[in-house]
Amino acid sequence: MTPSLALWSLSDAVAESLPDGGLINETFRVTRAGEVVGFLQRLNTRIFVPEVHEDIAAITEHVAARGLHTPRLAPTAEGRLWHTADDGGVWRLLTPVGDRTVHRVTELSDARAAGALVARWHSALSDFAWSFRSVRAGAHDTPKHMAGLRDAVATHVGHRLHAEVEELARTISAGWRSWTGPTELPTRVIHGDLKISNVRFSGPDATALIDLDTCAWGTLDVELGDALRSWCNRGSEDMASPSWDLDVFVAAMEGYASAARCTPTEWAAIVPGCERICWELAARFARDALEESYFGFDPAFGGRGEHNLLRARGQAALAASVRAQRGEAEAVLARLTGGPSRT
């Protein structure tokens, strides 16, 4: 049950569940007299602490002061950033941004607009000094995820998918062992979950980033690697052999380069970062196939194990596809940034 909207002085408004919301937070669209006045969300407290709202308030204030459009936390009538209900539920109200969500990139113009918005957002935060209240450890520790897969293969020898996962694990670890790319990157504020559905559009423009719970100190290879492996996967994440679309990459990077401030090492880390995140996700899904632990599986694919194995194969194929196009992708970046081409 949603808390009373009177808590936010909106007693004459109604909250309706958003059917196409994400998997993490529960979202309700709040309307008054037919006009959208906010988005009410129940924070997923298995993943985030309520103090994450102090981070969101500070970040949104900072980017708004630099002229960016952004959702803001609407304080409660008591002046709090969030409301804790009697059942322990943590609720927040965000101001609305944009009028369109994209779930899969089909238009290059959307990728270009989204890339430019992400660059503006990164640049706006380049002078943001903040100690995050919400800190989640080691989300992209690739060696740790590789070791986790090795351990799972050694442990779950009796699992029905063991032979298949073991073979895939060999491909993944060989891919990772032969991966090369810059590793010492400067730290900056990252969004942390730049899937395209976390970019809100308004007509042709990308207007604002939402879903800000994952903001953190991080590095650009992780940030853009994760974004581009999903934006450029024009197939689905539930496909065994998707490919990485260079045209989407070019459009996104044209947008990003139009407003970015990056070091040469950061530019050089984007394409390898993309490949790396694919290997890493492949390792995580392959491990989950044996441990059957992923929470968002779809029963249409058989068991959790089968679904995760399919996803692992998909990410491994994507990694190989990025590697095969690395020379071309890096030549594009060299053209956009005036740097040296490695092809």
Q: Which residues bind Mg ion (CB under 5 A)?
A: 22, 198, 211
By beta-carbon distance, which residue lies closest to Mg ion?
22
Residue 19 vs 138, nearer CB to ligand ADP: 19
The reply to whether 75 sits near ligand ADP by the rule CB under 6 A is no
Q: Of the candidates 148, 143, 136, 138, which has an alpha carbon nearest to the alpha carbon of residue 284?
A: 148
27 binds, among Mg ion, ligand ADP, none (CB under 5 to 8 A by kind): ligand ADP
- The string of DSSP letters for 280-331 reads HHHHHHHHHHHHT--TT--GGGSSHHHHHHHHHHHHHHHHHHHHHTHHHHHH
Contact by Cβ (8 Å): 70, 109: no
The reply to whether 24 sits near ligand ADP by the rule CB under 6 A is yes
CB of 69 to ligand ADP, least distance (A): 10
Distance CA 117, CA 132 (A): 23
CB of 337 to ligand ADP, least distance (A): 31
Segment interacting with ligand ADP, rule: CB under 6 A, options 1-9, 96-104, 216-224, 298-306: 96-104
Distance CA 196, CA 2 (A): 27
Distance CA 44, CA 49 (A): 8
The reply to whether 210 sits near ligand ADP by the rule CB under 6 A is yes
The reply to whether 57 sits near ligand ADP by the rule CB under 6 A is no
In the sheet that holds 199-202, the strands lie side by side as 100-101, 199-202, 205-209
By beta-carbon distance, which residue lies closest to ligand ADP?
22
Distance CA 332, CA 271 (A): 11
The reply to whether 74 sits near ligand ADP by the rule CB under 6 A is no
Q: Of the candidates 224, 222, 225, 197, which has an alpha carbon nearest to the alpha carbon of residue 209?
A: 197
The reply to whether 21 sits near ligand ADP by the rule CB under 6 A is yes
Could you tell me how far CA 218 lies from the centroid of its own chain? Answer: 13
For the chain, the first-to-last Cα distance in angstroms comes to 57
The reply to whether 25 sits near ligand ADP by the rule CB under 6 A is yes
Neighbouring-strand partners of residue 93? 40
97 binds, among Mg ion, ligand ADP, none (CB under 5 to 8 A by kind): ligand ADP
CB of 191 to Mg ion, least distance (A): 11
CB of 77 to ligand ADP, least distance (A): 20
The reply to whether 206 sits near ligand ADP by the rule CB under 6 A is no
Selected from 97, 108, 334, 336, the binder of ligand ADP by CB under 6 A is: 97
Q: What does the block give as tokens for 41?
A: 């969300």
The reply to whether 293 sits near ligand ADP by the rule CB under 6 A is no
Residue ranges binding ligand ADP (CB under 6 A): 18, 21-25, 27, 39, 71, 94, 96-98, 101, 197-198, 200, 210-211
